[in-house]
Structure 1
């Protein structure tokens, strides 16, 4: 069962510079977890049975990326995906829980569907994710992402 949670916040360690992204520590119920991440704005947090999904941005209006992190209950990072591209502007909107998926909009009217997996699955780099998604090198994923761009005739 998934639920939104307000128990998780971020403490900014340092702001972004020309050469380095902002860095923050994840706090759980205002207590440091010892987990440090890139980014500074926690847009949404979802509690899962075995962990948490975090939706994080950097507050850079002209080039906003969305980082999606999956961590376990000990706040160890299990999976990460970055959505966006250079010179794109996006804002996270309409985050909703639908059964075992999280639906949201980011960059235009694209509807994204994220599904946490019970067990890690094979991921084929460059083939498994929609355009505009990047992940660290690796062959395993703990969640899937699907994008449904709005067609011109639907506007």
Structure 2
């Protein structure tokens, strides 16, 4: 008798566990946002100024934070573990490029979608049940700012891809 074990995706759900305590915008540095994880009352600081979205999953949280800089916006996506430590982060941004996050929605138990640079493109973020190796971790405008590096690849639990929307007739 063979036993088949399936690894189920980590179900995503919107949460309100985090609230903004303060924001700091020094003139010569990136803005910083201080969030409180209300169930534990733990305070955490992140680069950015605006909490755009927060999602819970079995083993932690996903936070989407922007800088609130109109003509050079960047979006940082943080994956936190259950102890509220940053496990992985991804930055979307390009010099002199505006970005407004829009149409943020849960597609499945392990996928989010949103628009950022314009409404004609859709970004799909997928949470992987097992880590994968990314052989091209630095493709403009996506930068991975944390993760586990090994030789010329990066081990990750978050996969992000840009999909072009078809124009409406």
TM-score (norm 2): 0.80
Unaligned runs of 5+ residues in structure 1 are: none
Using the TM superposition, give the Cα deviation of residue 29 of structure 1 relative to its aligned residue in structure 2, in angstroms. Answer: 1.5
Does the residue aligned with 2:26 lie in a helix, a strand or coil? coil
In structure 1, what is the Cα distance between the partners aligned to 2:117 and 2:133?
Answer: 27
Using the TM superposition, give the Cα deviation of residue 65 of structure 1 relative to its aligned residue in structure 2, in angstroms. Answer: 0.6
Tell me which residue corresponds to 1:118. 129
Tell me which residue corresponds to 1:144. 159
Q: Could you say which structure has the larger radius of gyration?
A: 2
Tell me which residue corresponds to 1:74. 83
Whether 1:101 and 2:111 are equivalent positions in the alignment is yes
Tell me which residue corresponds to 1:10. 20
What is the root-mean-square deviation in Å for CA atoms of aligned residues?
2.0
In structure 2, what is the Cα distance between the partners aligned to 1:129 and 1:96?
Answer: 25
Relative contact order (C-alpha < 8 Å, sep 6+): which is higher? 2
Does the residue aligned with 2:130 lie in a helix, a strand or coil? strand
Using the TM superposition, give the Cα deviation of residue 147 of structure 1 relative to its aligned residue in structure 2, in angstroms. Answer: 0.3
In structure 1, what is the Cα distance between the partners aligned to 2:145 and 2:65?
Answer: 16
Using the TM superposition, give the Cα deviation of residue 30 of structure 1 relative to its aligned residue in structure 2, in angstroms. Answer: 7.4
> For residues 30 and 20 of structure 1, do their structure 2 counterparts lie closer, same or farther at Cα, with a shift above 3 Å needed?
farther
TM-score (norm 1): 0.86
Q: Report how many residues are paired.
A: 150
Tell me if structure 1 keeps the 8 A contact 2:72–2:94.
yes
Moved over 4 A (4+): none
